[in-house]
């Protein structure tokens, strides 16, 4: 008798909740928040989280070894969370800290790992205005000795720097990512060297025991007249100052719109007068008053403080300009006495006008004296422009899509492959197809992994690709019906030679281009309708247009055959 043995395998499947993840979008490392008149600032924090265990967010500030500051303990900054994003703040006196943020559950237990942002400070923030004596003249320069002296350095991305100087657009300024004011570092938005401001920063850190952050709108060769005309759109001609992009005033405007709302600002440090020889004392007073007025109106803050230097020495002092500067200080309660730069004689100037190395040291000391002068008491009396809460980030993507590719197989089918590294509530993927990268139709579905922290590989075959170049995208759909679109990929069919393509169009974020011969894209640019270059990628087939305003633009690139292609796009 034959006996059949049946072996039964019992698979035990266990399910565990998706590990919660926390991400802090703001502030960046080395951030400096401006103190209020009481010496405190709100340290704003925003971020995202995944997983349904997190019900509230806590943050604390840990003092750094050898640096100023007293600890701020765990503080609830956001509660009743439901959307995957959070925002809040904790209040701190001056100092520099490591910011620690964690997610908590209903039982007040930490969920997942905490996130640490290093070197977050509460201190003093200044914007510099002036001509070459405020930007750079000649002589050796040094970076700040103290790591607590910071700027936004415009130098690392030279292509972006060049675009800013061509366009004056805030979208071409570096992001708010402070760095130490080093010897080779500049001071955004305009200046590319530390000049003597590193020395001033060191002396203020020593006196105040808080971090310092500088911005600079100083422009060599300018005067208060050019700032005034650019501010009010009054045309002028100059050998290198471009009125058409509203230089030099646009640097004040961009600082107050892009950076200062996030950091706050104690005051604007103004050092004009030497180059204003084309006007009278009354003319200088008018120009200065109108620039101050414009800056306050655009900032929507009428108490915006200015420190005006007495500065008009050029082999001697021009008294009517000094009198005008004194009148500005006396007439406006929110204009304070700046550095007495007229005290620097020819021994501190290599040509009777511009500071030499001794003049740099003297200028830094005079600005320090002005800021700390007990008679003016700037730190108590100047009402700072305070930081406001940043916008919340978008909700975290339910699926982390690390690759999505399509290719033509030997049998003529199109093979689509994509890889994810994390999925939350992912029901399925819709595969969408188009012949023009504008109108898409769904041609199939692939089941998602639901909740996963593993790497998942997916595949789909289009057995009827057609005769033209075909475009594909994924529409990822959650269990609750929420959907997210992927980037677009393309496959060229047979011997088809379609027109070069730009897609998606319209676009809100990333656009891609494809040549008609399969060759690499050369010299990808985004132009305004006047032909000015706004964005440029030299060896890439994609460019991020997120920073551009809504409207129409021109995308320009070359094919492998050298033909120049121009396509109009719409930015949403």
Q: Mean pLDDT, consecutive 10-residue segments, the chain of 572 residues?
A: 38 41 94 97 94 90 96 97 92 98 95 95 98 88 96 93 93 95 97 97 98 98 97 96 96 97 98 96 98 98 98 95 98 98 96 94 98 95 97 82 87 92 88 85 94 89 85 89 83 61 77 70 83 82 82 83 79 80
Q: What is the pLDDT of residue 13?
A: 35
What are the tokens at 233? 């759109």
What are the tokens at 216? 């600079």
Q: What is the pLDDT of residue 571?
A: 83
Q: What is the pLDDT of residue 2?
A: 40
Q: Rounded to a whole number, what is the distance in angstroms from the first to the last CA of the chain? A: 79
Whole-angstrom Cα Rg for the chain? 29
Q: What is the CB neighbour count within 10 angstroms for residue 237?
A: 6
Please, which residues have CB within 8 angstroms of residue 139's CB and are 6 or more apart in sequence?
350, 355, 356, 357, 360
CA atoms within 13 A on the CB side of 487: 20
Please, which residues have CB within 8 angstroms of residue 297's CB and are 6 or more apart in sequence?
none
DSSP characters for 136-177? Answer: --SS-----SSTTEEE----S-HHHHHHHHHH--GGGSPPS-
CB 120 within 8 A of CB 98: yes
What does pTM read for this prediction? Answer: 0.75
Q: What is the pLDDT of residue 20?
A: 61
Q: Which of 194, 205, 166 is nearest to 525 (CA)?
A: 166
Q: What is the pLDDT of residue 5?
A: 39
Cis peptide before 551 (omega within 30 of 0): no
Q: Give the whole-angstrom CA distance, residue 362 versus residue 365.
A: 5
CB 86 within 8 A of CB 78: yes
> Which of the 8 DSSP states describes residue 219?
-
Q: What is the CB neighbour count within 10 angstroms for residue 208?
A: 19
Q: What is the CB neighbour count within 10 angstroms for residue 2?
A: 3
Per-residue pLDDT tens digits for 33-90: 999 999 999 999 999 987 778 999 999 999 999 999 999 999 999 999 988 899 999 9
Please, which residues have CB within 8 angstroms of residue 232's CB and are 6 or more apart in sequence?
290, 294
């Amino acid at each position: 008798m034959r006996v059949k043995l049946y072996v039964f395998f019992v698979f035990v499947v266990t399910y565990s909740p998706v590990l919660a993840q926390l991400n802090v979008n703001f502030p960046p490392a080395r951030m400096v928040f401006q103190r209020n008149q009481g010496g405190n600032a709100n340290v704003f924090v925003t971020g995202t989280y995944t997983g349904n265990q997190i019900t509230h967010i806590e943050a604390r500030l840990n003092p750094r070894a050898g640096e100023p500051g007293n600890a701020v303990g765990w503080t609830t900054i956001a509660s009743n969370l439901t959307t995957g994003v959070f925002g809040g703040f904790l209040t701190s006196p001056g100092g520099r800290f490591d910011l620690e943020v964690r997610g908590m559950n209903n039982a007040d237990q930490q969920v997942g790992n905490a996130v640490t942002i290093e070197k977050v400070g509460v201190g003093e923030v200044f914007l510099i205005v002036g001509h070459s004596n405020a930007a750079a003249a000649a002589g050796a320069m040094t970076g700040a000795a103290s790591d607590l002296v910071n700027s936004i350095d415009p130098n690392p991305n030279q292509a972006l720097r060049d675009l800013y100087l061509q366009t004056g657009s805030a979208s071409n300024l570096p992001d708010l990512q402070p760095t130490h004011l080093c010897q080779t570092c500049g001071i955004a938005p305009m200046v590319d060297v530390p000049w003597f401001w590193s020395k001033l920063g060191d002396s203020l850190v020593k006196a105040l025991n808080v971090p310092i952050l500088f911005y600079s709108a100083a422009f060599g060769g300018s005067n208060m007249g050019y700032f005034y005309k650019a501010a009010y759109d009054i045309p002028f001609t100059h050998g290198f100052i471009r009125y058409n992009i509203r230089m030099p005033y646009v640097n004040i405007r961009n600082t107050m719109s892009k950076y200062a709302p996030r950091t706050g600002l104690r005051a604007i440090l103004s050092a004009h007068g030497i180059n204003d020889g084309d006007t009278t004392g009354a003319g200088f007073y008018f120009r200065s008053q109108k620039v101050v007025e414009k800056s306050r109106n655009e900032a929507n803050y009428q108490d915006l403080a200015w420190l005006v230097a007495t500065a008009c020495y050029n082999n001697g002092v021009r008294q009517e300009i000094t009198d005008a500067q004194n009148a500005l200080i006396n007439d406006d309660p929110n204009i304070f006495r700046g550095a007495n730069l007229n005290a620097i004689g020819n021994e501190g100037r290599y040509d009777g006008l511009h500071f030499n190395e001794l003049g740099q040291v003297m200028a830094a000391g005079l600005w320090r004296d002005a800021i700390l002068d007990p008679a003016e008491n700037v730190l108590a009396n100047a009402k700072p422009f305070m930081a406001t809460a940043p916008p919340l980030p978008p909700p975290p993507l339910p699926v982390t899509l690390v690759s999505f590719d399509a290719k033509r197989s030997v049998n003529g089918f199109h093979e689509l492959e994509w890889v994810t590294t994390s999925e939350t509530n992912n029901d399925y993927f819709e595969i969408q197809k188009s012949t023009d990268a504008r109108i898409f139709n769904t041609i199939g579905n692939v089941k998602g992994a639901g909740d996963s922290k593993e790497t998942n590989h997916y595949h789909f075959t289009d057995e009827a690709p057609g005769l033209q170049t075909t475009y594909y995208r994924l529409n990822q759909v959650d269990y609750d019906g929420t959907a997210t679109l992927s980037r677009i990929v393309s496959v060229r069919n047979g011997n088809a030679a379609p027109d070069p393509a730009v897609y998606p169009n319209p676009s809100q974020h990333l656009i891609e281009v494809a040549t008609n011969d399969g060759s690499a894209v050369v010299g990808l640019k985004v132009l305004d309708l006047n032909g000015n270059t706004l964005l440029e990628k030299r060896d890439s087939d994609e460019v991020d247009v997120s920073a551009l305003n809504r409207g129409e633009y021109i995308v320009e690139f070359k094919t492998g055959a050298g033909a120049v292609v121009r396509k109009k796009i719409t930015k949403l």
